[in-house]
Structure 1
Amino acid sequence: MSHFKSLLSILLIALSAVNASPLRRDASMANLRFAARLNARNATLSIADADRARIQAMVHAGSKSKRAGSSSVSIINNVVDYVAQVGVGSPATEYSLLVDTGSSNTWIGAANPYKPTNTSVDTGDTVFVSYGSGEFSGEEYLDTVTLSSDLVITGQSIGVAKRSYGFNNVDGILGIGPTDLTQGTVSNVGLVPTVTDNLFSKGIIGTEALGIFFPPISANGTGELTFGGYDSSKTTSSVNYVPLTTTSPASSYWGIDQSIAYGNSTILSETAGIVDTGTTLIFIATDAFNQYKSATGATMDQNTGFLMITSDQYAKLQTLTFNISGSSYDLTPDAQIWPRSFNTEIGGSSSSIYLIVADIGSNSGSGFDFVNGYQRFYSVFDTTDHRVGFATTSYTDAVIN
């Protein structure tokens, strides 16, 4: 089954390194819930391989994203789908769309066909977006998009697929990633305003920011997008913000600078990478990965592509810490392992313990040395102030795996 993907290029402005959030939940904010679906048994690639292929495509796309005519490129991860019900037209037809923070075109037609209404306008332009292991092509329409009763966008650009592959049991994508990733995707058009852009420009939300709450897979919870800020009912701390990195190719996405420590030892010195809620695992540069593997005593399990540890090694597992602009974000031992109740879904043994830290496939120094997936933290992607924010949630330190 299909999944979703990756993120943005923005100019950096001078910010304080870590700030308490001025954004609050108020009348100019609204939520959209989405559901998680685990599809690992139907995947054509292992989770690690699918994620790694996607990351390699992102690195390639990021290195060329500032060239005219480049398009959004990423790999569909065939493991976990995050699906929202979105209305298009008036009266609205509801479509099941993948929530994607790593691409920015919203489109439909992969499964259920588009039903034009009196709000539909065919622009005459064509649309094409490649996602590495999938793609779609078709026509651009302007139409009313209903995310919720509080989030109704008139004249939103949508792609209507005439041809698509790599998308099973979904109708398309809700693209909530960076606007720059739409460059070159629609004929005769430069950048295409995203749903977030239009919510802000039409005054529906007061700040062009997006809060994202992804409960862990094992929690069986409902995810939530908050347009216009963040939902404080989902956080257990203030939101700390960090400036975007200027290092390419991470700067083409929601890229930040961070270092990583395992226990008391630094395994990755401060470097650039990205925050990507579309990546299932935590990926780190090969040299850091080898240090982590050695320190944990893990071995590579060929059936799953995951690192595997024994019960005794799990009892000794230390905290994995992401140091970002002076703040520390800890992954507890429980947060470092794949949910055991889903071991068989990835082709593993129900009695084994698998780590969710994986090899990105290249040594540090590439400008794309980590991907912070597998979220145990609330994330805020703030376009207005060109920054990313993090907060703890009730799941950050929970023992659920």
Structure 2
Amino acid sequence: MLAKLRLLSAVVLTLTIHPLTNALVIDRDAAPIAFPVVKRVNMTGTTKLVEVDQARARALRERAQGKWDHHHPPPPVHVTNQVVTYVAQVEVDKQPFALIVDTGSSNTWVGAGLQQYNDTGKTSEGCVSVSYGSGYIFGAVYNGTVTLGRRLAIQKQTFGSAYFAIGFNDVDGILGIGPTDLTEGTIDPAPPSGLTPTVTDNAYTQRLIRHKEVCMFYAPAKSQSDPNGELTFGGSNPDKCTGSLNYVPITTVSPASSFVGIDLKKITFNGDVLSSAVTSGIVDTGTTLIYLPTDTFSAYQNATNATLDDNTGLLKITKEQYDELPPLNFHIGETTYGLTPNGQIWPRALNTLIGGEADAIYLVVGDSGAVSGSGLDFIIGYTFLERFYHCYDSQNNQAGFATTPYTHATTN
């Protein structure tokens, strides 16, 4: 087996899957299955967080546009620093792994870290290869049982075991929960349908969950290790929402339509329309910040009078500017989701972990590198999801959002 090259130290948001207090009877009529989430920060290095996110964004666009194949992907960006991920404690054939929960990809695989998959007695069914912009994996393909918690045991799940993984550190692989179509071309020989069912697909087919849906709740973290959220399979958890859960169709605009893509009617700030035309983009748990199209980002920077900080790559404002900061409003469907002033800034308690000054104020809005109308104009990352509940309903091809108790929190 080839040695792993692990270039990326991570800011890790750990999704720990614990057994629930009450026994669960998992069938098609069962309630959605929820698992608690813990945020753990572990970071070293100097590469800017923005550079990691932007490398991922480029890879997502090129992948959806068919500009590279999985056997000859572009080389990953050389990064030695932070990325924000959600990591689930998952068992594969009763072997424990810490896997990134990713809505921007759909393959499940293990073996990026020190924990290797023991394939004794197993026969490989082919090879898997996937590029993530800031990382790449090549490995063998197996079928086995993937277990989330003690009772959500998904049988005959196709997964990869890495021979070679680059761009990952402190994690063992990825739990891909994005659209099934993202698996096309990742496995050789290809399955008869050309696609590989995700863990959500198989959990639904095996009648373990009621709906083919995954919902996410996160809360702003105050420290490096906060129990700050929940991932729910099979439906939503109304207890985590303070308002109605509003759904919009997955966009038909390419390349955003290949992912958990949505349309924005407009973006407004301080009464001004920063983006008046309908734009298309994606919701991605593998991205940290919120990225607007270049023209909209420039308008936002001008409106805030923020300066670009060389050390972090983030926009920086003064306390006086922060005191006057209005909400940044995302108009999705018929609902407006207002990101409060506090929701627009990086948690100050974590400033030094991204190379910033302890008492500085950094904005979590960045430049996507795309112009409005390009088809994948914006990316909504985890900093937005800490303020709004989010569901990906692959059964009905829609995405949902709702306010939470943390929508107006001032914890940052």
TM superposition score category, shorter chain reference: 0.7 to 0.9
Q: Once the two structures are superposed, what CA deviation does each residue of 1:159-205 show, in whole Å capped at 9, x if it has no partner? A: 01112121112111111111111111111221111100000011111
1:191 is aligned to 2:191: no
From 32, 49, 56, the counterpart of 1:54: 56
Using the alignment, how far apart are the partners of 1:136 and 1:207 within structure 2? 30
**Maintained 8 Å contact 1:122/1:139:** no
Which sections of structure 1, spanning at least 5 residues, go unmatched?
Answer: 5-24
Q: Once the two structures are superposed, what CA deviation does each residue of 1:67-103 show, in whole Å capped at 9, x if it has no partner? A: 99789999898322321111111xx121111111111
**Maintained 8 Å contact 1:72/1:183:** no
Aligned to 1:254: 260
Q: Once the two structures are superposed, what CA deviation does each residue of 1:39-87 show, in whole Å capped at 9, x if it has no partner? A: 4x4245211111112111111112128x997899998983223211111
Using the alignment, how far apart are the partners of 1:355 and 1:152 within structure 2? 41
Using the alignment, how far apart are the partners of 2:352 and 2:341 within structure 1? 20
Identity over the aligned pairs, expressed in percent?
47
3-state SS, counterpart of residue 54 of structure 1: helix
Using the alignment, how far apart are the partners of 1:180 and 1:58 within structure 2? 13
From 380, 402, 408, the counterpart of 1:391: 402
**Maintained 8 Å contact 2:103/2:260:** no
Aligned to 1:268: 275
Cα deviation for residue 105 of structure 1 reads 0.9
3-state SS, counterpart of residue 49 of structure 1: helix
Using the alignment, how far apart are the partners of 1:57 and 1:110 within structure 2? 19
1:213 is aligned to 2:221: no
From 236, 243, 251, the counterpart of 2:249: 243
Equivalenced residues, count: 376
Q: Once the two structures are superposed, what CA deviation does each residue of 1:129-152 show, in whole Å capped at 9, x if it has no partner? A: 122222121111111111012310
**Maintained 8 Å contact 1:88/1:145:** yes
Question: Residue type of the partner of 1:56?
Answer: R
Using the alignment, how far apart are the partners of 1:290 and 1:183 within structure 2? 36
Q: Once the two structures are superposed, what CA deviation does each residue of 1:364-398 show, in whole Å capped at 9, x if it has no partner? A: 12111111121211101001111000011111110
From 100, 103, 114, the counterpart of 2:117: 114
Matches within 5 A, 1:299-314: 299-314=307-322
**Maintained 8 Å contact 1:68/1:183:** no
3-state SS, counterpart of residue 128 of structure 2: strand
3-state SS, counterpart of residue 216 of structure 1: coil
Question: Residue type of the partner of 1:279?
Answer: T
Further displaced range: 27-36 or 273-282? 27-36
Using the alignment, how far apart are the partners of 1:32 and 1:184 within structure 2? 31
Question: Residue type of the partner of 1:172?
Answer: G
Aligned to 1:19: none
**Maintained 8 Å contact 2:10/2:41:** no
Using the alignment, how far apart are the partners of 2:122 and 2:176 within structure 1? 20
TM value normalised by structure 2: 0.85
**Maintained 8 Å contact 1:64/1:70:** no
TM value normalised by structure 1: 0.88
Using the alignment, how far apart are the partners of 1:192 and 1:173 within structure 2? 15
Cα deviation for residue 215 of structure 1 reads 2.2
Aligned to 1:227: 233
Matches within 5 A, 1:290-301: 290-301=298-309
3-state SS, counterpart of residue 288 of structure 1: helix
Using the alignment, how far apart are the partners of 2:83 and 2:90 within structure 1? 22
Using the alignment, how far apart are the partners of 2:290 and 2:69 within structure 1? 31
3-state SS, counterpart of residue 174 of structure 1: strand
3-state SS, counterpart of residue 227 of structure 2: coil
Question: Residue type of the partner of 1:163?
Answer: F
Matches within 5 A, 1:281-296: 281-296=289-304
Cα deviation for residue 217 of structure 1 reads 3.5
Further displaced range: 46-55 or 213-222? 213-222
**Maintained 8 Å contact 1:72/1:103:** no
Superposed CA RMSD in Å reads 2.4
From 18, 37, 42, the counterpart of 2:40: 37
Aligned to 1:135: 136
**Maintained 8 Å contact 1:156/1:195:** yes
Using the alignment, how far apart are the partners of 2:231 and 2:111 within structure 1? 23
**Maintained 8 Å contact 2:89/2:99:** yes
Cα deviation for residue 329 of structure 1 reads 0.2
**Maintained 8 Å contact 1:101/1:276:** yes
Using the alignment, how far apart are the partners of 1:347 and 1:2 within structure 2? 13
Using the alignment, how far apart are the partners of 1:42 and 1:381 within structure 2? 32
Using the alignment, how far apart are the partners of 1:132 and 1:78 within structure 2? 14
Question: Residue type of the partner of 1:304?
Answer: T
Using the alignment, how far apart are the partners of 1:97 and 1:362 within structure 2? 30
Using the alignment, how far apart are the partners of 2:332 and 2:375 within structure 1? 16
